């Protein structure tokens, strides 16, 4: 379990870190089950409502320091060749962004994940995740160096459990040497699942204090979107945000960084 929650107002200024993880579903905004059918054309064709939804997402994420976004397009026919990660970074005022392209379908789709940050990372590394079907990735972002580095990883795991087990084993190896670690994203599995239990056994990441249901956004009953941290990072708050611009709801967390972790200015 995570450490007891702290009163953030009692912490020194500048030690807080605000995080958000959000599967934005390409800006399609499914809010009812039948939208998976009626909105299917938006996966292939431009839609003006997409950018109205993205503008709402930009308003939300502007209050955070590091944002992990899943299901974004890097600029294809369906978005009018607008790079969605770059668009959101500019709208929300983030000086740094990075897009990991996981499925390159040419002009039809440039599918991937994006990370937005108010602090310039020391290093960004892309990894391809194993699985039955290709097209899943992990983005590792490091702030600082050595034992005091803060490491943030953005992931979007597969739908099948067998693939998720392979992917979390791979991720466990990547994260095993770091003390201050944040793992964020759409993991497509609940905290008590076999694959998540194996992740907790093989890393120092902590199990959430309780399940926070994020899917489907119109009637959340599944806890599949997560922000996980190692014990050195004290969680002052964690909650699901009522922001229905997708079939997922976002997860927000505020951390208190330890004294020996200094993000580059």
Q: What is the DSSP string of 85-130?
A: HHHHHHHHT-SEEEEEEEEE-TTS-EEEEEEEESS--SEEEEEEPP
Q: What is the mean pLDDT of residues 123-129?
A: 97
- Give me the residue label for tokens 């095993």: 176
In this prediction, residue 107 carries a pLDDT of 87
- The alpha-helical segments, DSSP class H, found in the chain are 35-38, 48-61, 84-92, 161-175, 194-202
Percent of the chain exceeding pLDDT 70 equals 88
pLDDT, tens only, 84-122? 999 999 999 999 999 999 988 888 888 899 999 999 999
Q: Given this model, what pLDDT does residue 6 score?
A: 40
Q: Is the pLDDT of residue 41 over 50?
A: no
Q: pLDDT (tens digit, 9 = 90+) per residue, 161-175? A: 999 999 999 999 999
Query: Which candidate, 188, 94, 174, 91, places its Cα nearest to that of 139?
Result: 174
- Measured distance CA(46)–CA(52) in Å, rounded: 13
Q: What are the chain's domains?
A: 15-256 (3.60.10.10)
The answer on pLDDT for 206 being more than 60 is yes
The phi and psi torsions of 122 (rounded to 5 degrees) equal -80, -30
- pLDDT average, residue stretch 194-200: 95
Residues contacting residue 7 through CB under 8 Å, at least 6 positions apart: 236
C-alpha distance across the termini of the chain, in Å: 32
Nearest Cα residue to 88 out of 214, 246, 217, 262? 246
Please state the rounded mean pLDDT for residues 33-59. 71
Question: If we measure between CA atoms, which residue out of 97, 130, 252, 132 comes closest to residue 184?
Answer: 252
Instruction: Pick the closest to residue 3 from 178, 224, 230, 176 (CA basis).
Output: 230
How far is the C-alpha of 82 from the C-alpha of 68, rounded, in Å? 19
Only one residue has tokens 């039948």, namely 34
Maximal CA-CA distance, the chain: 51
Across 129-142, average pLDDT = 94
Q: Is residue 8 predicted with pLDDT exceeding 50?
A: no
Report the sign of the C-alpha dihedral through residues 28, 34, 36, 41, in that order.
negative
Which of 45-54, 162-171, 218-227 has the weakest average pLDDT?
Answer: 45-54
């Amino acid at each position: 379990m995570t450490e007891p929650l702290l009163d953030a107002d009692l912490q020194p200024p500048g030690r807080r870190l605000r995080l958000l993880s959000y599967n934005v579903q390409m800006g399609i905004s499914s809010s009812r089950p039948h939208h998976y059918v009626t909105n299917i054309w938006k996966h292939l064709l431009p839609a003006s409502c997409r950018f109205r939804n993205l503008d709402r997402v930009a308003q939300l994420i502007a209050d955070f320091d590091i944002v992990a976004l899943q299901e974004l397009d890097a600029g294809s026919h369906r978005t009018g060749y607008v790079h969605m990660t770059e668009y959101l970074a500019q709208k929300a005022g983030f000086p740094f962004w990075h897009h990991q392209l996981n499925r390159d379908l040419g002009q039809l789709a440039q599918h991937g994940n994006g990370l937005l940050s108010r602090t310039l990372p020391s290093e960004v590394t892309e990894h391809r995740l194993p699985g039955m079907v290709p097209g899943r990735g992990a983005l590792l972002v490091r702030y600082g160096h050595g034992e005091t580095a803060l490491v943030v990883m953005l992931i979007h795991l597969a739908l099948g459990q067998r693939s998720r087990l392979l992917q979390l084993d791979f991720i466990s190896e990547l994260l095993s040497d770091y003390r201050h670690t944040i793992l964020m994203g759409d993991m497509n599995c609940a905290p008590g699942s076999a694959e998540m239990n194996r992740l907790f056994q093989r890393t120092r990441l902590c199990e959430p204090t309780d399940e926070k249901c994020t899917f489907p956004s119109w009637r959340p009953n599944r806890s599949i979107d997560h922000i996980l941290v190692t014990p050195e990072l004290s969680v002052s708050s964690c909650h699901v945000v009522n922001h229905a611009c997708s079939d997922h709801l976002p997860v927000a967390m505020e951390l208190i960084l330890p004294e020996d972790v200094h993000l580059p200015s």
